[in-house]
Amino acid sequence: MSLRVAQAATRIRPLAFRLPLQRRGYADPVSDKIKLTLALPHQSIYKSTDVVQVNIPAESGEMGVLANHVPSIEQLKPGLVEIIEESGGSKQFFLSGGFAIVQPGSQLSINAVEGFPLEDFSSDAVRSQITEAQKIAGGSGSEQDIAEAKIELEVLEGLQASLK
């Protein structure tokens, strides 16, 4: 009985040792693509799609994410996300703010409330809203109304700069 236990122990041990070591030999190919998931509450624009690079407007500054990026969580400013696809072409979406999460294994998940390609925006609508928001921000409304107008201004100015 005790012998069998000892045998089982020796058999299990090497396996447990080997697991955490994820060795890579010379011949193993390394994927240079990053799996991108870009999800809105009502739609997934990308679903674990292989792309080359993603540029995101993080609160800590603009950053480009390539394959094998160090895992991190970034809060996004309302701004432009640029995706460089496998074919070499690039796509741009304006996101209203959210989070980007880089996971181990070259996975990137971006979550936002709203996101649209630039051609869906109307620069006239942006311009008229800027004047409106400026009026509220400089007016005598409640502290919260002014704060909301300032958020709107920041988003609209970013949008206007992206549309040019």
Partner 1 sequence: MAFAWKASGLTYNRYLAVAARVVRRSLKEGERLKAERRGEMELKFAKWENGKQGENKSLAQANASSMAEGAGHGQGQ
Q: Contact 101/108 with Cβ under 8 angstroms?
A: yes
Binding window for partner 1 (CB under 8 A); candidates: 4-12, 44-52, 62-70, 90-98: 90-98
18-39 b/e (C-beta count within 10 Å ≥ 16 → b): eeeeeeeeeeeeeeeebbbbbb
Residue in 27, 29, 143, 164 binding partner 1, rule: CB under 8 A? 143
Taking the complex as a whole, the smallest distance from the CB of residue 58 to partner 1 amounts, in Å, to 11
Residue in 122, 131, 140, 164 binding partner 1, rule: CB under 8 A? 122
Instruction: Report the distance separating Cα 83 and Cα 86, nearest Å.
Output: 10
Contacts of 5 (CB under 8 A, 6+ apart): none
**Binding flag, residue 142, partner 1 (CB under 8 A):** yes
Contact set with partner 1 (CB under 8 A): 41-42, 59, 78, 94, 96-98, 113-114, 116, 120-122, 125-126, 129, 133, 142-144, 146-148, 150-152, 155-156, 159
